[in-house]
């Protein structure tokens, strides 16, 4: 399974060729049923140019067409809405272009490399990376629309951080489909050019089982390091704690290794140790860069979680607690993490 280029080009995705927005024309505004798209459900290339029976009104001013009785009031209103929407899009496009120009100018003034050079440097760093992080997107049907949006924002953030990371990872998305895929195609600019592997299949169909470590805060195993060749799976789930233990359960059912991040060994946090997808991803990148879990946690975990470093003595106590801790329910998976030298402790 390649996790770069090959999967990032839409035509080469394992998923069905994504439904690219196509330039559609809807020329008949006399028949409402033929041209119902509103600004919210139409794609941006779609246009309704206002041709009416009797001909001659294609691209004509809707106000004039209305004044001449060639279109109804309802049609006029819709055309006005579409026009306003087109103008807004154009305005935003120009604004973004200007922003990019200013950023490029600033980078130049500071002597920083331009975007093209940054991209080439990233691609070069990526060539030597042999750790994969795959986000498991098989929870699509368990999330509300707003959580799908949040999740895809988190994934966008993961990609942006990976691009800048001194030690990037091979990023991958598995079970990409449904609303996540739709959101990706419609709301994430430039996703087609991402250096990210994408598959519609479950991660177990994509990677060899022995390489897989499912990350879950409910695992009794704790990571001590990140191993080359391994594939770390992050559950693509924004659930506000409503599906407690689900990822652990799924990992056990799939019969793959699993582990939690060594949070308690290095930092104290006031709130739950269940982190968001992008925080887990960023912690791993920070660890690869710094080779120090404590620094990685302190850098990434948001201060609102009340994060504090702990001393080596305290860390010792915490490990003992974990070893004595209650055994979490094992949902029938095999002995997980067997022979995995990257696990600090294993009590199941």
Q: How far is the CB of 211 from ligand SAM (least distance, A)?
A: 16
Q: Is 273 in the site for ligand SAM (CB under 6 A)?
A: yes
* Choice between 35 and 135, CB closer to ligand SAM: 135
What whole-number distance in Å separates Cα of residue 111 and Cα of residue 109? 5
Among residues 5, 218, 239, 345, the one annotated as catalytic is 239
Give the DSSP letter of residue 270.
Answer: S
Structure tokens at 237: 């789930």
- Chosen residue from 217, 221, 265, 278 binding ligand SAM by CB under 6 A: 217
Residue 258: name the closest of 173, 190, 346 by CA. 346
Q: Contacting ligand SAM (CB under 6 A), which of 35, 275, 296, 301?
A: 275
Nearest partner of 217 among 255, 252, 256, 259, judged by Cα: 259
Q: How many residues at the interface with ligand SAM, by CB under 6 A?
A: 21
By CB under 6 A, is residue 244 in contact with ligand SAM? yes
- Please say if 239 is a catalytic residue: yes
62 to 81, contacts with ligand SAM by CB under 6 A? none
Residue 48 interacting with ligand SAM (CB under 6 A): no
Kindly write down the DSSP assignment for every residue of 97-110, as one continuous string: HHHHHHHHHHHHHT
**239 is a contact residue toward ligand SAM (CB under 6 A):** yes
Reference 37, options 95, 78, 80, 70; nearest CA is 78
| Binder among 52, 71, 206, 247 for ligand SAM (CB under 6 A) | 247
Distances (CA, A) of 301 to 5, 135, 293: 31, 19, 12
Question: Which member of 48, 148, 180, 215 binds ligand SAM (CB under 6 A)?
Answer: 215
CB under 8 Å to 280, separation ≥6 — which residues? Answer: 215, 234, 261
C-beta of 221: minimal distance to ligand SAM in Å? 10
DSSP 8-state symbol, 229: T
- Among the listed residues 50, 220, 235, 337, the single contact to ligand SAM using CB under 6 A: 235
User: Is residue 216 part of the contact set for ligand SAM (CB under 6 A)?
Assistant: yes
Which residue's beta carbon is nearest to the bound ligand SAM? Answer: 235
Measured between alpha carbons, how far is 142 from 83 in angstroms, rounded to an integer?
Answer: 37
Interacting residues with ligand SAM (CB under 6 A): 215-217, 234-235, 237, 239, 243-247, 260-261, 263, 273-277, 280
Active site residues: 239
């Amino acid at each position: 399974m390649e996790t770069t280029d090959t999967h990032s080009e839409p035509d080469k995705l394992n998923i069905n060729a994504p439904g690219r927005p196509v330039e559609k024309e809807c020329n008949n505004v006399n028949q409402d049923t033929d041209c119902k798209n509103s600004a919210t459900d139409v794609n941006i290339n779609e246009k309704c140019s206002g041709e009416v029976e009797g001909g001659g009104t294609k691209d004509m001013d809707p106000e004039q067409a209305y004044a001449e009785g060639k279109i109804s009031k309802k049609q006029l209103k819709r055309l006005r809405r579409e026009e306003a929407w087109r103008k807004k899009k154009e305005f935003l496009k120009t604004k973004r272009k200007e922003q990019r120009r200013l950023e490029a100018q600033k980078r130049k003034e500071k002597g920083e490399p331009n975007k093209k050079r940054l991209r080439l440097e990233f691609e070069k760093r990526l060539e030597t990376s042999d750790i994969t992080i795959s986000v498991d997107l098989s929870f699509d049907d368990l999330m509300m629309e707003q959580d799908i949006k949040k999740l895809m924002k988190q994934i966008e953030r993961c990609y942006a951080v990976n691009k800048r990371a001194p030690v990037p990872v091979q990023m991958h998305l598995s079970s990409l489909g449904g609303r996540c895929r739709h959101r990706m195609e419609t709301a994430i600019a430039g996703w087609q050019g991402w250096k990210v592997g994408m598959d519609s299949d479950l991660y177990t169909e994509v990677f060899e089982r022995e390489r897989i470590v499912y990350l879950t805060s409910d695992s009794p195993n704790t990571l001590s390091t990140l191993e080359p060749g391994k594939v770390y799976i992050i559950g693509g789930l924004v659930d506000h704690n409503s599906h407690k233990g689900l990822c652990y359960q799924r990992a056990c059912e799939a019969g793959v290794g699993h582990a939690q991040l060594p949070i308690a060994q290095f930092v104290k946090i006031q709130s739950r140790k269940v982190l968001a997808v992008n925080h887990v991803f960023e912690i791993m990148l920070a660890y690869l860069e710094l080779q120090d879990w404590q620094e990685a946690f302190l850098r990434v975990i948001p201060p609102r979680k009340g994060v504090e470093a702990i001393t080596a003595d305290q860390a010792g106590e915490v490990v003992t607690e974990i070893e004595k801790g209650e055994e979490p329910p094992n949902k029938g998976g095999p002995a997980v993490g067997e022979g995995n030298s990257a696990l600090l402790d294993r009590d199941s």
